[in-house]
Every structure is written in C-alpha cells, then in structure tokens.
Chain A
Amino acid sequence: MRYLPKSDLERREMLSAIGVSSLEELFSQLPAEVRLNRSLAIAPGKSEYDIIEYFRDRGLENANGYDSFLGAGVYNHYRPVLVDTVVSRGEFLTSYTPYQAEIAQGTLTTIFEFQTMVCQLTGMDVANASMYDGSTAVPEAAMMAVRLTNRDKIVVARTVHPEYREVLATYSQHQKMPVSEAGYNSQTGKLDLDDLARQLDKDVAAVIIQSPNFFGVVEDVKQAAELAHKNGSLLVFVFTEAVSLGLLRPPEEADIVAGELQSFAISPCYGGPFAGIMATKEKFMRQMPGRIVGETKDTRGNRAFCLTLSTREQHIRREKATSNICTNQALIALMATVFMTVYGKEGLRELAEQNLSKAHYLAGKVKPHFSGPFFNEFVVSSIGRTPEQVNEALLHKKIIGGLPLKRFYPELGNAMLLCATEMNRREQMDSMAEALA
C-alpha cells in the first residue's frame, strides 16, 4: 500500500527487535470476545485514478456551472489563486498546532497577522486564532458574556441567522442560560428596538444582534448597544458576510464580536469547514475562549510569536476552562489571511462596493420587501407564485434562485432571500428580474 513505507523484510527485522514473530502477536492481549474475526466490509483499496473518478462523478451529480443567488450565511466570492498556492504548501498543510514555537514561527506569524486583521476590520482590541465557525462562535460569545457579567439571560434578535440561533439553543439548554428572542420591524426588516427594550432586565447578560442581518438589512447597532449598556448588559455583534466589513462601519460599541469568515476565499463546500472569529475589548481578553498567539522575544532577543494565555484553555483548566474547544481552524484562517493580504485595504473596499452595486442593481428591478438599508442581500416577495415555482423556472436557465424563507419565517409567506455578489453578472440579474416579474 503506497502510504505504508515498509517492506516485509523491514517488518521482519522490526518484529525481531521487538521479540515477537508476527504482527498478530502485537494485539494478542486483546480479549478474544472483543476481536473482530472477519475483514471489514469495505471495498478493496482503490487506485488514485479510481478515487479521482469517484469524486468527479459525485461532483457531476451536484450542480455544476450554475449561477447562484443564494447567500443566507454562505457566500459566493472569487478566490484569489494565491490562496490555494499558499495553503497547499506542505509546511502549512501538514504541520501541527504550533505548541513548539521554535519550529512553528510560520504558523504563529500568520495567526498573529490574522488576529491583527480581524481587529482592524471589527474595531476590537483583541481577537483569537479562530473558532470552528460563526454559528458556534455565537454561543461561545454568550457564555463569555455570562461569565463576565455574572448574569444568566441572553436576548437574541430574531434577525440573527436561524441556524445560528438553533446552535445557541442547543448549547444553552443545559447551562442555565435562558434565551429569549426580540422580534423585527415588519416594515424595515430591522430588529424591533422596542421589543428588545421590553425584554431587558437585570438578569440579561448579553444582547446578540447580527448586521447585516439574515434579511441583509443593516441594523441600528449604536442604538441597540445603548439599550444594552444602559441595562448593564453586553452587546454581542454577529456577522455572516465578512465582505460587508469592507464598507460598513465597524461595530465599535460591541463588547464581543462573533462572526464568519467564509466569504474570504473559503469555498462554500456544502457547509464547511469554515472559520469563525471572536474578538473583544482588551479588558475582556482573559475570558475569551480559543487559542491566542502573542508576541514575545526568544533568548537571543529576536521577535518571536507563541501561543499564550493558555491557562484559559481546556488542557490546563480542564473542568474550569473557558470552553472545551481545542482546535482553531488554522488552515482555513490562513486562507482568509491570504485573501485579506491579496485584496488589502483598497481591494476589500472595492470588493464591497461592487457587491453593494450589484445587489442594488438587482433590487432596482425587483423591489425589496423591507425598507431598511441593505448590503448585498435583500428579501423579495413573489406575487402570485411560490418562490419554489420561480426557482424552478430559473433552473432551466441554469440559475439557482434565492432562498425561500417560509421554512425559517413562516410569517413571511412567499418571500425569498436574494444575494448578489461580484460574481453575479448583469445578464443573470436581468434573468432573475424577469423570472420574478
């Protein structure tokens, strides 16, 4: 087998050094009743070419060459070629967690850059080396707020991504962390600040909002923060479309930011792996979960980077840890770091402006359902037909339409969520508009 670098001769030499005569003796201590006495019922090993063909066939059974107007937490953006060039280097791809700083400065330096860029984008003081994804960063932020305030309730806006709210519910069910939802204004599509105010009491640890929200609408972050802070609660700011940070005002009033960087050169890949981020104010740093890279010097006085503040983490604190998280999405975060480096200050802004223009061109033809300002996503209601019917017609033109919203927001009936990015061409948007007419 091509991944097993030993000849039978070498195996015999090694068995002899060990003092046994067969490989089977190496597990003879296993009680007979637990031994598997047959082969695994898995097809024989395939050649490389067969494997490639298998996955090519699976790929062809999926949509290929379709244009898409889906967003809703996962976005189609160009991936600079440099991204795969860099992450394919064996020194990045096949390296381990950088616990041994002397031989992991490559990884540590890029994580330090990543943390810096996340702070620059979000207006926070400190960021960690990434979380699994945006959806799991949210409950981690909620738990962090609970620890910081010694209160236990969470109020989350209904305009936060529905699946993110489901994850929050799963995590909070056994943590004595009751979660309530604040509704949205049916005209603007924004969080209903009055409904939020009604739910704030002395037990609320955090208010969680997303902007642009699931409907694509830009929230009144400042006002929400004021309400939260007046109540002694923290504001947790969530984002799913990282490109928006190229143009939208960073959430400086937030206490904790939890978000998703999939837009930054991370393939949609049927839902994962992605890279979540958490960032916060300096005074809250020690309560933030996840790995953190810090700057220091080595014994010769040279600048060096290392994992730091490890005492927050599970391998030391064990049951008193800030979280059970062990991994960070290092390779995925590196993709985002390369993306941010390639686009840079001007590029990210131009990218965001293109997204804004594309979506507003489309909106100009189909009339958004909500009146609130939006970035690259918005809701439309189809009149007289279901979104499914609209999408069916579009599929004939090899276009995947928007996300029907009834499954998440039944009160919105025939509405669907459309997203237009720099990848959507004018002709496709014209087709979309026609289909909705």
Chain B
Amino acid sequence: MGTRDCQHICDESSPAVGEAGKTGEWRDTFPAIDAAKCLPVRQNKPSCFLCWLYCPEAVISKTVPIQINMEYCKGCGICAQICPAHAITMVSEESFSLDEKG
C-alpha cells in the first residue's frame, strides 16, 4: 500500500488527535501510577491535577483517579517530576507487560 491517495504535495496536517500517528510508540519509559498516593484518590474529590496541567501531550484526564492515554503518551516523565505526592514513577517499557499497563 503506497501513499498515492494522500493528496498533499508538501507536508501538511491538521491539529487533531492522532494526526502525527500513534506517538505512544515513541515511548521507552512508562508512567506507573501508585493510586494510593495520588491526592485526588486519597481525598476522593477532584483536586491537584498538576500532572494534567503540565502534560505537554494533554493525554492525562482530570478524573478520579487520573487516567493516561497510553496510545499517545510519549513517556517524557514531566508528570512524574511534577507530582507533589510522588505517585508517578517512570519505569522502563520492557519491565512492564501490556497486561500490567492495563
């Protein structure tokens, strides 16, 4: 299958989820969440959400508990750095099986 169906003659894309492909494939470290430490979970109400605020890919949900869209998370680790409760740890992709990632 070739790219002849693509009508663009220069590189062109529209801002949309997935326009750059599944960027989750770029990831080599994985944000593992320890829900017991996450403030919204501990307080059982929407709060903190610094990870949501700082995520450059906007792949973290503002929910209790937070959820990360692993199809597009590039594994940059900013969420782990910013989390005041140290609830997120970056771990090597290989050390996690797909099942564990959920």
- Report if A and B associate in a common complex: no
Which residues of A come within 8 Å of B, CB atoms?
none
